[in-house]
Amino acid sequence: MPLGDGVIIACALGYMGILFGIAYYGDQRADAGRSIIANPYIYTLSLAIYCTAWTFYGSVGLAAVSGVDFLAVYLGPTLMAMLFWFVLRRIVRITKVHRITSIADFIGSRYGKSGLLAGMVTLIVMLGILPYISIQLKAIAVSFSLLRQYPEVSRLAISTQHPIWMDTTFYVALVLIVFTILFGTRHIDNTERHEGMVAAAAFESLFKLVAFVLVGVVVTFFIFDGPGELFQKAAMDPNLAPLLRFEVVPGGYGGWLSLTFLSMMAFLFLPRQFQVLVVENVNETHIRKAIWLFPLYLFAINLFVLPIALGGRLLFSDGSVDADTFVLTLPMAEQMPLLAMLAFLGGLSAATSMIMFETVTLSTMVCNDLVMPILLRANPRWLAGRSDLSGLLIGIRRAGIIILILLGYLYFRFVGESYALVASGLVSFAAAAQFAPPILIGLFWKRANRRGALIGLSCGFAVWAYTLFLPAMARSGWISTSFVELGPFGLELLKPYALFGLEGLDPYMHSVFWSMLVNIGGLVYGSLPGRPDPIEQVQGSQFVDILKRERHDGDSLLWRGVVETADLYDLLARFLGPQRASEAFDRYAADHGGYPLQADSRLIHYTERLLAGAIGAASARVMISSIVMGEVLSIEEVMTILDESTQVLEYSRRLEQKSRELEFASAELREANNRLQELDRLKDEFISTVTHELRTPLTSIRAFSEILLANPDMEVAQRSKFLSIIVKESERLTRLINQVLDMAKIDSGRIDWHIDDLDLGALIQDAINSTSQLFHDKAVALHEDLGDERVLIAGDRDRLIQVIINLLSNAVKFCPEQEGEVIIRLRPSLNRWRIEVIDNGPGIAIDQHKLIFEKFHQVSDSHAGKPKGTGLGLPISQKIVEHHGGRIWVESEIGQGAIFIVELPRKMQDGENARK
Amino acid sequence: MRQQSREYIIILFIGAVLAINYPVLDLFDRPWAPFGIPLLYFYLYLAWLALILVLIAVVERSEIHGSEELPKPTVLEPENISRSGDSDNPPVEQSSNAAR
């Protein structure tokens, strides 16, 4: 049963139709918010986009000549998968936070949102990836040409003899262009995610795995009798026996190691890998499952590589069939059309998924990081005149896809044909590995800066081009082969495969060594001196500390400018279309309770990030800075943001300290407030007591005055009695007012103290003299016991007399008439002088001993009737005595009389005396 | 992932790098063929499979044990415009956004 062209094409197109259906369904579900790719299994399967036609056909081809070598290409990613949690998770987090859309965007963002760097990455990728695209086209074209000859199996050259329009590959390229455009550029998304494509890629990964394993099983168990027999046959064949040992690996262990390293790096940094690993990652936690699931996939798809390779070599022992095609030609040779068709579709899967993802990713990069920045810089006015740029963006991307696939085709037609699949693929791997230093070092070393990245990347790229790309051109006849064999201009030292005389390595290891050396060296050399820009520092610190930080809007601090919100909206609307722009602003308003007329830095940053999703970080920055006025940020401000390693810790530590201080302060405040309230209450009490005290004498003065006024002919005796009462009450009033003033003065510390040397005995004598009238009036006996010693103290004479008088008059006041007896004593006590005033009055209850020294407190005394004092005497006395460094207290019990005791310090020999 | 699991993975990584390179690899480059499979291949595939199995044990165990997840970045996340409720933003983050 021959397979006609029609059947093959129908199957291929049907298969593509299924893919398209899956992609469409995936996009629909994504739009509805029920993503079908949001699980770790789909994520892992989509990573298997790593296995391209190179894997599907090329692994076998490689195994058929280099034995175990092909395994390095899959052990590398296995090793890298183990590092996912440490490397990939950081990158994913950064990408989500900064809305990064591609690997060029990532590198550009890391190094200060550098448009130059992003553009350079894009150029390197474009050039580096062409061989890779070309081998996919070649694989499709070759497998198609082979299959249409079924059941014939023959080696055929895909001819360059035909003109282009007769070339199958050309039509394959055209079909792929159409599909890629349909898949990848339906609309401009602000995240550059393509859920539908991811779903399709996952399906393709599953399909190619099944197809390959099926072919492997058939070859191993049906065509041959199991692996044992197969290996045994191979071991007997002198041509094949070396394939089972390590000796056939080109470059030996060094080559093996470098291939492992290359594939590790390429797995992470090929643009499409970056896309599926990072940009399309739905949830960080999916990475965890991929750590083992993806190696398992690689294990499964590689299990039958060697059996197929050996089987092919055994069956086609005459070398008539290209080893790269064994997967397809073995079923054909065994007359298994269905299996052959399955193998063909499997290869188609592997190739198409790679081409689509790679070109969509690349076209986004070309658009965001190459074309838009140039347009923005070259002719901003022309752009400003256009209201909706989303159409333009899509147009650029579609053009990018067309150009890339056509370039891949041209590379295939004019350069790549002479190469095996793997050789071309490795050239691309080595190009992708150039991104490893700026990304990996940039992830962990903050000081890596733009200058270093530019130097390193350009040098690494130059070395790559010189040691791999140019020789490939030479081999296909575009440059004289003497360039490779003898060096340029016959300079042996500069031979591209043996730079500076470094011989004995295989070309890839040689290239990896030199390019990594200059790449890393350049990065470090360029980064060491000098101080990075503020924005470089901000980005560097944000990238490195991504897992530590809670806040990720540090770079929003860089926007200090002024801009109208309406301008921001217009800008966004031009790139996303008005509908999405207004949706975005509505959402912002909903989250932040409206937006200000003058955009604040948060809103500017929000807009920048949205824009970054559509046109890349560097372009977004250019656009925003074109409308934001006065954006410059001082280095001090940046340094505050940047005090990196300690910043977060320091911040929280300071915060805790602040809150502790705050708590403390508020406790103090509360206390002070309580005290104030208490004082306020006391003041109110004081005022009410004072006024009350003032009113009592006033009332009697007024009453007696009115009586006198109303009775002009009152008896003289009566009148003089009344007048004397008035005089006495007036005196009391004066005394009261004086005391209140004294009290106030003492309290506020405004009193003037006249400290002199005093003879305490004389002072007491004076006090006695001035109160003698009182004693006399009340017929109270006063006994003095002052001793003979001359007692010298330092103090204010008037004040101290006031104290003694106060005590004496109190004593008199409370003594019973006639029997009253007061004793005043002056005694030395331990380095003090002690004055005692003893009366035989009613005594004072113990609970009153303290209270009587409070203002206006008067011992309510049923015997004494109305209080006789002002209630200020004792408090004033206490203040005075305390001011002299002494103390005053009372010892008494009810019915036992009272002893008021004043202790004053002795005068010091050195003149230091009273406090103060 | 727990600290312990991370350490295991690092150790595994170092072990794997050593195991698949010179000189360990050279030990297995012999003309012997256990079960009819050349020793070099037998060793490489077996080591690979063993590595995967250990990885499964380490990774999945750390998952079962309900390891900590680092806090989601509380970032000012512009919402997905074309897709409301997109899975791009996990529910946690959305609610935190809504609360803000």
User: CA-to-CA distance for A140 and A356, rounded, in angstroms?
Assistant: 14
Residue A272 maps to a domain:
yes
Q: What is the pLDDT of residues A241-292, one digit of tens each?
A: 888 888 888 878 888 888 899 899 989 998 889 988 888 888 888 888 889 9
Which residues of chain B have a CB within 8 Å of the CB of A227?
36-37
Q: Which residues pair with A827 in a beta bridge?
A: A834
B19 interfacial to chain A (CB closer than 8 Å): no
**A747-799 pLDDT, tens per residue?**
777 777 888 888 888 888 888 888 888 888 888 888 888 877 777 888 888 88
Same domain, A627 and A686: no
Least confident span in A377-386, A492-501, B61-70, B89-98: B89-98
Q: Min CA distance, B2 vs chain A (Å)?
A: 11
Q: In Å, how far are A67, A74, A121, A334 from A87, measured between CA atoms?
A: 32, 18, 20, 46
Cα separation, A67 vs A61, in Å, equals 10
> Is B58 found in the same domain as B86?
no
**Which of A193, A227, A584 has the CB atom closest to B37's CB atom?**
A227
Token reading at B81? 């415009």
Rounded to a whole number of angstroms, the distance from the CA of B58 to the nearest CA of chain A is: 10
Span A631-657, pLDDT tens digits: 445 545 555 544 544 455 566 677 778
Q: Which range has the worst mean pLDDT, A23-32, A42-51, A481-490, A513-522?
A: A481-490
Q: What is the mean pLDDT of residues A397-425?
A: 78
Whether A545 is covered by a domain: the verdict is: no
Q: Does A588 touch chain B (CB under 8 A)?
A: yes
Query: Averaged over A887-896, what is the pLDDT?
Result: 85
Does A884 reach chain B within 8 Å, measured CB to CB?
A: no
Q: Which residues of B touch A282 (CB under 8 A)?
A: 87-88
**Among residues A347, A428, A457, which one has the least CA distance to residue A118?**
A457
Other C-beta atoms lying within 10 Å of the C-beta of residue A895: 9
Percent over 90 (pLDDT), chain A? 8
- Chain B hits for A601, Cβ within 8 Å: none
Identify the pLDDT of residue A3.
66
B85 and B43 within one domain: no
> Degrees (nearest 5) of the Cα angle A319, A323, A324?
150
Task: Please list every residue in chain B whose beta carbon sits closer than 8 Å to the beta carbon of residue A190.
Answer: 78, 80-82
| Number of domains composing chain A | 4
A257 and A363 share one domain: yes
Top-confidence range, A498-507, A529-538, A829-838, B80-89:
A829-838
What value of ipTM does the predicted structure carry? 0.71
| Same structural domain, B23 and B54 | yes
State the count of interchain CB pairs (< 8 A) between A and B: 157
Query: Residue B82 and residue A190: Cβ atoms within 8 Å?
Result: yes
- A164 and A241 co-located in one domain: yes
- Chain A's closest residue to B57, CA to CA, is A292
Q: What angle do CA A684, A687, A689 make, to 5 degrees?
A: 105
Q: Are A299 and B37 a contacting pair at CB < 8 A?
A: no
**Whether A161 and A87 share a structural domain:** yes
Burial of A910 (0-12, 13-18, 19+ CB in 10 A): exposed
Distance CA A809, CA A145 (A): 134
Q: pLDDT band at residue A77, thresholds of 50, 70 and 90?
A: very high
Please indicate, yes or no, if residue A548 is contained in any of the structural domains.
Answer: no
pLDDT one-digit tens code per residue, A209-237: 999 999 999 988 888 888 888 888 888 88
Query: Testing the interface with B: which of A231, A390, A586, A592 to mutate, by most B Cβ within 10 A?
Result: A231
Tell me whether B79 touches chain A (CB under 8 Å). Answer: yes
* One domain, residues A667 and A584: no
Percent of chain A with pLDDT over 70: 87
Which CATH number does the domain housing residue A871 bear?
A: 3.30.565.10
Regarding whether B47 and B30 lie in a shared domain, the answer is: yes
Q: How far away is chain B from the Cα of A137, in angstroms, using its nearest Cα? A: 31
Crossing angle for the helix pair A578-592 and A601-615, to the nearest 10 degrees: 140
Same domain, A81 and A162: yes
Residues A618 and A650 both lie in one domain: no
Residue found by looking up tokens 């896309």 in the block: A275
Q: What was the pLDDT predicted at A818? A: 79
Residues B7 and B33 in one domain: yes
pLDDT of residue A562: 66
Nearest to B48 among A246, A299, A613 (CB): A299
pLDDT at A80: 92
CB contact under 8 A, B49 and A299: yes
pLDDT band of A457, cuts 50, 70, 90? very high
Across the interface, of B75, B80, B97, the residue whose CB is closest to A591 is B97
Mean pLDDT of A799-816: 84
Are both A627 and A652 inside the same structural domain?
Answer: no
Last residue of a domain, one of A720, A741, A762: A741
| A227–B36 CB contact, under 8 Å | yes
Q: Are residues B30 and B57 in the same domain?
A: yes
Q: Which of A602, A619, A642 is the last residue of a domain?
A: A642
| B37 contact A CB<8A | yes
B66 touching chain A per CB within 8 A: no
Q: Are residues B57 and B93 in the same domain?
A: no
Contacting residues for A542 by C-beta, under 8 A, at least 6 apart? A94, A97, A98, A549, A552, A554, A555
Same domain, B77 and B60: no
Query: Is residue A330 assigned to a domain?
Result: yes
More confident residue, A113 or A347: A347
Residue A216 Cα, gap to closest chain B Cα (Å)? 16
Q: Under a CB-based contact definition with an 8 Å cutoff, are residues A466 and A507 in contact?
A: no
Of A587, A616, A642, the position where a domain reaches its end is: A642
Report the domain count for chain B.
2
pLDDT of residue A731: 85
pLDDT of the residue at A517: 92
Q: Give the domain range for residue B86.
A: 73-100
A72 Cα to chain B: minimum distance (Å): 9
Task: Please state the φ and ψ torsions of residue A711, each to the nearest 5 degrees.
Answer: -120, 80
Out of B36, B60, B98, closest to residue A228 by CB:
B36
**Statement to judge: residues B93 and B48 lie in one domain:** no
pLDDT at residue B66 in the model = 46
- Yes or no, beta carbons of B55 and A291 under 8 Å apart: yes
**The predicted structure's pLDDT at residue A910:** 42
Domain assignment of residue A160, yes or no: yes
Map residue A782 onto helix, strand or coil: strand
pTM: 0.65
Interface test with chain A among B6, B45, B79, by most A beta carbons within 10 Å: B79
Q: Does A652 touch chain B (CB under 8 A)?
A: no
Burial of B94 (0-12, 13-18, 19+ CB in 10 A): middle
pLDDT band at A850 (very low <50, low <70, confident <90, very high): confident
Q: What sign has the CA pseudo-torsion A171, A308, A208, A302?
A: negative
Nearest-Cα residue of chain A relative to residue B15:
A79
When the pLDDT of each residue in chain A is averaged and rounded to a whole number, the result is: 80
Let me know if residue A542 belongs to a domain: no
* pLDDT at residue A798, as a whole number: 83
The mean pLDDT value for A467-477 works out to: 78
The kind and range of the H/E element at A757 are strand A755-759
For residue A650, the model assigns a pLDDT of 62
pLDDT of residue B91: 40
In which domain, by residue range, is A595 found? 553-642
Nearest to A31 by CA among A215, A223, A256, A189: A189
B58/B85 same-domain check = no
In a domain, residue A315? The reply is yes
Q: Identify which has the larger pLDDT, A342 or A471.
A: A342
Confidence band for A915, pLDDT divided at 50, 70 and 90 = very low
CB contact under 8 A, A245 and B40: yes
Q: Would you state the pLDDT for residue B94?
A: 39
pLDDT at A476 over 80: no
* Residues A274 and A268 sit within 8 Å (Cβ to Cβ): yes
B46 and B22 part of one domain: yes
pLDDT in tens, A293-341: 999 999 999 999 988 988 888 888 777 788 888 888 888 888 888 888 8
**Model confidence pLDDT, tens digit, residues A733-745:** 888 888 788 877 8
Query: What pLDDT was estimated at residue A868?
Result: 57
CA distance A79 to A52: 19
Nearest CB partner across the interface for A97, out of B33, B73, B87: B73
- Summarize pLDDT for A677-721 with one digit per residue, the tens: 888 887 887 788 778 778 878 888 888 888 888 888 888 888 888
Same domain, A360 and A504: yes
Please give the helix or strand (H or E) that residue A40 lies within, else none.
Answer: helix A40-47
A473 — contact with chain B (CB < 8 Å)?
A: no
CA A507 from chain centre, in angstroms, equals 43
